[in-house]
Chain A
Amino acid sequence: MSVRQLSVFMENKAGRLADITAAVATAGSNIRGFVVSDTAEFGIIRFVLSRFDEGVAALRNAGFTTAESEVIVIDLSEDRPGRLAAVLRELSDVGVNVEYAYSLVDRLLAISVADANSAEKLIAQRNIRVLSQADIDSL
């Protein structure tokens, strides 16, 4: 059920983010959310994408170093104050430890956890909707 996440190594240079997103665009891959972590000199940009394989191929052809991992994408379902806090509380209650998280389009939240499989089982105990890669592709 988990969703594929693409990570790209990036030097902190003017225009790099534009170059990377342009490469993704040429593949007709739609960015559903992203987050950048960085040091002074380099960073990692992480994406949730539609047409994942095409997006990866486009970046590799452009010479970028990439890696793939998985994230769990949760539907927050309501757009109101306190909703994110409530969902995160529920995750914490069932024992899912979030390593990092970022928001996607359309009230979606991507979370990275140590063990996606067991986290999904734990989340399933609650009334929280989790999305698949097919859901992402059809957004």
Chain B
Amino acid sequence: MPIWNPEYECMERAQMRELQLSRLKDQITRAYTHSKHYHAALDAAGVHPGDIHELSDLAKLPFTDKTALRDNYPFGMFTVPMNEIVRVHSSSGTTGKPIVVGYTRADLQIWTEMCARLCSAAGVTADDRVDMTFLYGMFTGGWGMHYAIERIGATIIPAGSGATERHLMMMQDFGTTVFIGTPSYAVYLSEVGEREGIDFAQLPIRLGLFGGEATSVAMRKEIEARMGIRATDNYGLSEVGGPGVAGECEVGVGRHVNEDNFYPEIIDPDTGEVLPEGEVGELVLTTLTKEAMPILRYRTHDLTRLTYEPCACGRTLCRIDPVRTRTDDMLIIRGVNVYPSQVEDILFSVEGVSPHYLIVVDRKSGLDNLEIRLEIDAALFSDRMEPLVEMQERIAEKVQAVLGLRAHIRLVEPGSIERTQGKSKRVLDRRKL
């Protein structure tokens, strides 16, 4: 696959570190000088921009958490006057006020460049026709990728989320070759398509760029088989600008971080200590080139690991593993740590189980109860009772074996688990803790 910008994507390590250090110093100075929040935070931690002499000095700075961004709603984190802000986006903000991010004209240029890199690494070229199924609106995902596709010169079909029938119609009539969206929407789309008798193998669709939520290996395989495409994964988050933080190359081992614009650290989520290369911990990101809203040491709550090993694709950019789980999505059930992705893996290992599920946790007379709801689609349904009951038992046994927890497996009708913009809700915690 073509490397979009070899000058940066294949930069020598020593030169990259030099570039990062110089950009880091500027970014910290900008934050300290123009952001009330960072001025106070650095003062409180007893560090000054002048204390940064090497990259490892970044560890002296305090972390930024989601609460800081919420507390400064809406524009308190901006370091430029509003007349330099050309666009704002916000997080979905399911609880309380959303997190608002702002962009200058230069920020948008860089964002587009970073997204173009990951699209190119995934294999998008000017010959492609790209179905954008992310929501256009306040959410960053659709926009970042939209402009990247245009910059590459491919044809963007800005269909947005919902209207599944229309996506399927255009996929057939427009000759769509690339799908961009969440993995759960891809599964849903393929289900509806199968129901309508569409044979994806006969369509030109060949590539999927997935983001917005974690994708398990099994889920990728299922999507690849169902839609006859190659699935690739990319990583980003609205707080640091949106998609474009990291993307997967054709080698498929890890996602290359756009290190000239983000400095990644892996920390122990409990102690906050920076961990050595190769260890699994929480990803912490520092923006290096943001004008409108620099973010220093942002705790992503995503678990991954980092490697600087050279990649066979020729890029020198470091790689992160596929993001395993959000640490804040972790459930503690009867003292056992449970990640939704573990449950997802279990369901996939039981043949044919579709990914629409919901983990429900309740507390009855002081004891946690774990229930896993599974939507029964045509692939899972049997017109006889025993196979359904046996499937319930098989899943329960596997949950017991993997998590050490007794779970009640509840079979539910298709569509009964709530979906928001194609993103399935995974966890319903009804305990009052």
Contact = CB atoms under 8 A, between A and B. Distances in A.
Contacts of A39: 385, 389
B410 interface: yes
Interface string A17-56: 0000000000000000000010101101010000000000
A102 interface: no
- Interface of B (DSSP majority class): loop
Interface residues of A, number: 19
B413 A41 contact: no
B195 interface: yes
A65 B385 contact: no
A41 B385 contact: no
A102 B398 CA distance: 36
A22 to B, nearest CB: 15
A37 B410 CA distance: 16
A60 interface: yes
Nearest to A37: B385
B378 A41 contact: no
Interface stretch (A5-13, A73-81, A87-95, A119-127): A5-13
B416 A11 contact: yes
Interface in B345-399: 376-378, 380-385, 388-389
A44 B383 contact: yes
B276 interface: no
Nearest to A100: B384
B416 A44 contact: no
B381 A65 contact: yes
Nearest to A40: B410
Interface in B73-105: none
Given A9-B381, A37-B385, A65 B195 contact: no
Nearest to B382: A67
Contacts, number: 48
B378 A67 contact: yes
Interface in B389-433: 389, 410-416
A67 B413 contact: no
A9 B389 contact: no
B376 A44 contact: no
Given A9-B376, A65-B376, A46 B383 contact: yes
Given A11-B416, A60-B195, A66-B378, A42 B411 contact: yes
Nearest to B416: A11
Contacts of B384: 44
B328 to A, nearest CB: 31
B416 A67 contact: no
A15 interface: no
A41 to B, nearest CB: 6
B411 A63 contact: no
Contacts of B385: 37, 39, 44
A65 B412 contact: no
Given A9-B381, A11-B413, 10 more contacts: A9-B376, A11-B411, A41-B410, A42-B376, A42-B388, A44-B383, A63-B413, A63-B415, A65-B381, A67-B381
29 contacts: A7-B381, A7-B383, A9-B381, A9-B411, A10-B413, A11-B412, A11-B416, A37-B385, A39-B389, A41-B410, A41-B411, A42-B376, A42-B411, A42-B412, A44-B384, A44-B388, A46-B383, A60-B195, A63-B414, A64-B414, A65-B376, A65-B378, A65-B380, A65-B413, A65-B414, A66-B378, A67-B378, A67-B381, A67-B383
Sorted from nearest, which 6 A-B pairs have the closest CB atoms?
Answer: A7-B383, A67-B383, A65-B381, A63-B415, A42-B411, A9-B376
